[in-house]
Structure 1
Amino acid sequence: MITPFAADGSVALAALEQLAHDVLDGGAAGLVALGTTAEPSALSPAEQSAVLELLGRVSRDRSAQLIAGGPVTPESATAALTLVPPFVRPGEDGVVAYLASVARRSPVPLVVYHVPYRTAQPLSAGALRRIAALPGVAGIKLAAGGIDADVIALMADPPPGFAILGGDDVVISPLLALGAHGGILASAHIETGAYASLMSAWEPELGHRLARLSAALFAEPNPTVIKAVLHAQGRVPTPDVRLPLLPAARESLAAVPFPSPPA
């Protein structure tokens, strides 16, 4: 979920609540709170708590799953989205040891977020299997920047009971064709029903169309274009983002083939 902002710069909680209901109505299995798309590093602790409390309430009311970044409890979330340690590049053994430690202390299962183009820490298929075998690790948000040999090796023999969720919107269709179980996709704010349909019954023509949509939505840093589209649809009060992000250019918005807002 994005974090919409009001004209005065505050978090637009009413708009966020409606967006949450929209995506669940559209067929999403659950919500993700305080992921990268939510601009969590630009939110104050109080704002983060308000977002988590609201999305937790919506999820409970709708019997939907909630994956959340940051500290969580069994009452607030189903699972914790846990980033592979960024910047320090501890190596595969360090990553596995770190995630094992986090999983032992976590009150909820982990969904490991592997995004090497942000963390600078690559992981082989063997390391991903070691992570999958850790007690307390339920799955992975796999955003390797494409489909490379390690992704193919992992998908050729997926670990049992381990949810592999695509996190690169543009390549979610081929990843599903390889056997991924679902996705955590910012693009699904815009055409939730179409992405949900792709998850339940992979269809190449639909996958190609949604790949073009995702490419347009990620033409600038996420979630700037998505916010611009949601504002153009009248679903959020402003297209605003917080520094270091800048609002999307009008040309980027014009290039998005987005549908009319939901009735």
Structure 2
Amino acid sequence: MLREILRGTGVALITPFKADKSIDFNALDAVINFVIEGGVQYVVTLGTTGETPTLSREEKLDIINATFASVDARVPVVVGIGGNNTQSIIKDIESFPVEKAVAILSASPYYNKPSQEGIFQHYKAIADSTTKPIILYNVPGRTGSNIAAATTVRLAKEVNTIAGIKEASGNMAQCMTILRDKPEEFMVVSGDDNLAMAQIACGMDGVISVAANCFPKYFSNMVNAALQNDFYNARAFNNMLIQGYDLLFAENNPAGVKAVMAEMGLIQNNLRLPLVPLSESIHQQVRDYLPSLK
């Protein structure tokens, strides 16, 4: 059951770039080793944190293959394949090298702003096209539309291959409604690092995290403690990271996490337009914060 396979901390991997903005595959390998050694339970490649809107199809294929090679079966891999063209997503799932993936994470359609029925039919069509488990991704702040709790539960109950949701609405009442009404086997993970501990307390199975790129040990320890109902230690780790969460998302994602990882020497601090690196004032706050974690 996917709930058991992906219980804990997943990390939405960044895509490191060289100075010429080409993909830095050596740095990607270093990042994957860093997060696995830091204790994450699984990795997610080609999520929005990986700047997927700026990647070509060929680059996406190369990243998937490089991720599987680097991971080398040490942890499960989830592949992100989403967008606002349902048929294009179906074609990508058919043609991308996802055989080794345990699931596909698919963000709700952006910009189109479909109705709830449109969202339901979009995901049903995707799920009907594959035997791979599908994880819904609700992130209204990026897509411009929300997957209502009733739609999530309907998909969970009516479509067999829809196995879970990454919930990043930030709406705790909506999250608790899903947790109350979902089928037992349906996985619900947080998509909001700063709410993950509270959402696990409500019954979520873990988190697909941005912060786990740069703080894998502390963040994984927090999640593991929360999942064991050890909220004394979970709060201690979370309190260490609260300022870090704020800095990671102060301007845009992944500018914050890339700034932190550049300070750690893992990557070069490069993004592709229209994203740009953190402003110097926020970057200085990153430099001032990092020693507190030592």
- Alpha-carbon contact 2:61-2:97 (below 8 Å) kept: no
| Letter of the 1:244 counterpart | P
Shift of 1:31: 0.8
Matched, 1:176 2:205: no
* CA displacement 1:63-103 (0-9 Å, x = unmatched): 31111123344424221111112222221121111111100
Which consecutive unaligned segments of at least 5 residues does structure 2 have? 1-12, 82-91, 227-233
Distance, in Å, in 1 between the alignment partners of 2:15 and 2:280 is 20
1:177-216 residue pairs with structure 2 within 5 A? 177-202=201-226, 203-216=234-247
CA gap 1:259/1:111 in 2 versus in 1, 3 angstroms:
farther
User: 2-side partners of 1:229 and 1:117: how far apart?
Assistant: 23
Q: Distance in 1 between matches of 2:215 and 2:292?
A: 10
Contact 1:235 1:261 in 2 (8 A): no
1:171-230 per-position Cα deviation (integer Å, ceiling 9, x unaligned): 112111111101111111111011111221122232233232111111111001111111
Amino acid at match of 2:274: P
Counterparts of residues 90-129 of structure 1 (less than 5 Å): 90-129=114-153
Aligned residues: CA RMSD: 1.9
Amino acid at match of 2:275: L
Return the offset for 1:123.
2.8
In the alignment, what sits opposite 1:135?
A: 160
Which stretch of the first structure deviates more once superposed, 18-27 or 124-133?
124-133
Seen in structure 2, the aligned counterparts of structure 1 residues 131 and 74 have a Cα distance that, compared at 3 Å, is: same
**Secondary structure class of the residue paired with 2:43:** strand
1:148 maps to what in 2?
172
Residue 259 of structure 1, CA deviation:
5.1
With normalisation by structure 1, the TM-score equals 0.92
Number of paired residues?
Answer: 259
Q: 1:25 aligns with which of 17, 37, 55?
A: 37
Give the percent of matched residue pairs that are identical in Structure 1 and Structure 2. Answer: 30
Amino acid at match of 1:51: I
Instruction: For 1:49-128, list aligned pairs within 5 A.
Output: 49-59=61-71, 61-70=72-81, 71=92, 72-128=96-152
Separation in structure 2 between the aligned mates of residue 118 and residue 7 of structure 1, nearest angstrom: 27
Q: TM-score, normalised by structure 2?
A: 0.82
- Determine the structure 2 residue equivalent to 1:218: 249
Q: Is the 8 A contact 2:153 2:181 kept in 1?
A: no
**2:270 corresponds to which residue?**
240
For residue 9 of structure 1, the aligned residue among 21, 27, 30 is 21
8 Å contact kept, 2:42–2:77: yes
- Runs in 1 of length 4+ with deviation above 4 angstroms? 259-262
| Aligned 8 A contact 1:82 1:112 in 2 | yes
- Matched letter for residue 258 of structure 2: K
